[in-house]
Structure 1
Amino acid sequence: MRRRRTRGLLALGAAVLLAGCGIRTTSVPVDAGAAPSRVPCDVADGTAGQAGQGLRLRVYLLCGAQLEPVERRSPLPEEKAAGDPVRTASALLAQLESEPSADEREAGFSTAVKGPLVVSAARKGDPAGTLRLSRQPEDLPATALAQIVCTFAESTPGTSAADRSSVVLGGPGRYEPRRYSCTRELKERPESAVPSAPATAS
């Protein structure tokens, strides 16, 4: 009897201590749910392994709030795009504007680039390699511009290997084109402002 009374007093004391700490006792198990899962950001096999004709392209899509590369195939024949920055940039832009495939959506990919958007050649007096967009680059959503800059910088022919981290873009108006940089920080935070600097004519 004494042992039973001692155990009862100990249980009562523990309950008082828990109540004093602000912790509510419960006999019901608490289910916090499954741990949050991360999207894979990886398309099985990739487009590079697909058979077929056309130009193989590498574009940057949004996945997990970052920019991640995806390989696509354009119906544009490779021989027609070779050495033609405007033609290649147009093919890249079309891929950025198109909705991700079912496999890409399942892997977590999306795009912020919305049409209509057109690429045209440089004007007289523009720096070499300039690409003109039908909208002023600064007027585009930050994530869309980040996708375009990183895709163009790494995939447009005529860009030297030492300068594949930037691209010179202009708009339809009289504003001078600027050099936009694709940095590691931009890939990690595409919603931030795209680094840019005045482009030097050559």
Structure 2
Amino acid sequence: MPPILLCVLASVAAGCGIRATSVPVDAGAAPSRVGCVLPGDHESPHDAGGAQAVVRVYLVCGSRVSPVEREVRMPDGRSSAQRLPVARKLLQELQRQPRTLEGAAGFETAVPDDLTVEGAADGDPDEALRLSSPPDELPSFALAQLVCTYADTAAADADDGVVLGGPAGSSPGDGDEEAAEETAAPLKRYECGTQLRTRPEAAETAGTEV
């Protein structure tokens, strides 16, 4: 019988210099995973004008949207007069590509660079915001980012809902009001609930018509 086989058989009874163990062999560290977690420090303001404030901006991380905190120069207060300036400022933040720490943690943005926002059109409720693209045509992750970032800010309504629509169309001329209304994109009210944050694709069917 070969010596090696004899040693193996003998090790069962006498050891043969080999110690049995139930611990698996260490084959190296497991692949690291992005944690979608940032250090506690905030980014510093990168422009002037307005009061410095820490704001929550929702970015894409993995299969959900999650908040990051940034120090941003923001308009003061939460009055209706601040709705559009706040909405525009937050949109700019969403369009910024994540900086080093955010990118390293796995955050990114799906909001198009050319997207713009305007205030309510004639006949709209005061809390309405009009986007340059209809919300239904935005990537679902981008819409979830917008809704959750605008919620609980001056860009939202009194109940933290967000009323969004596409371009309002041309202003009506004499006797042409009905035609102008038909060209205006419908308004929908959105809420930043758990489903929208954890399943951004739900944005495609979210929202109730206003």
Distance 2:95 2:87 in 1: 12
Structure 1: gaps (5+ residues): 12-29
Cα 1:189/1:135, change in 2 over 3 Å? same
Distance 1:42 1:126 in 2: 39
Name the structure 2 match of 1:135. 133
List structure 1 segments (4+ residues) > 2 angstroms apart after TM superposition.
30-38, 50-56, 73-76, 154-160, 191-194
Query: What is the aligned length?
Result: 170
| 1:186–1:194 Cα contact (<8 Å) kept | no
Distance 1:68 1:125 in 2: 34
What is the deviation of 1:148? Answer: 0.6
Give runs of aligned pairs for residues 12-91 of structure 1, distance below 5 A.
Answer: 34-47=29-42, 54-76=52-74, 78-79=75-76, 82-83=78-79, 84-91=82-89
Structure 2: gaps (5+ residues): 10-24, 170-183
Distance 2:120 2:155 in 1: 15
Distance 1:152 1:109 in 2: 18
Pick from 162, 170, 175 the counterpart of residue 167 of structure 1.
162
Distance 2:35 2:187 in 1: 37
The AA in structure 1 aligned to 2:186 is E
Distance 1:51 1:129 in 2: 27
Distance 2:156 2:192 in 1: 17
The AA in structure 2 aligned to 1:69 is P
| 1:142–1:194 Cα contact (<8 Å) kept | no
Query: Aligned-residue CA RMSD in angstroms?
Result: 2.9
Name the structure 1 match of 2:19. none
Distance 1:197 1:118 in 2: 22
Deviations 1:155-201 (A, max 9, x none): 335633xx22x3110111412211123220111111332511111xx
Deviations 1:52-95 (A, max 9, x none): 9634321100112211111112234x43x642011001010000
Q: TM-score if structure 1 supplies the norm length?
A: 0.72
What is the deviation of 1:51? Answer: 8.1
SS in structure 1 at match of 2:114 = coil
Name the structure 1 match of 2:112. 114
Q: Percent identity?
A: 41
Instruction: Indicate whether 1:196 and 2:207 are aligned.
Output: yes
Distance 1:104 1:150 in 2: 18
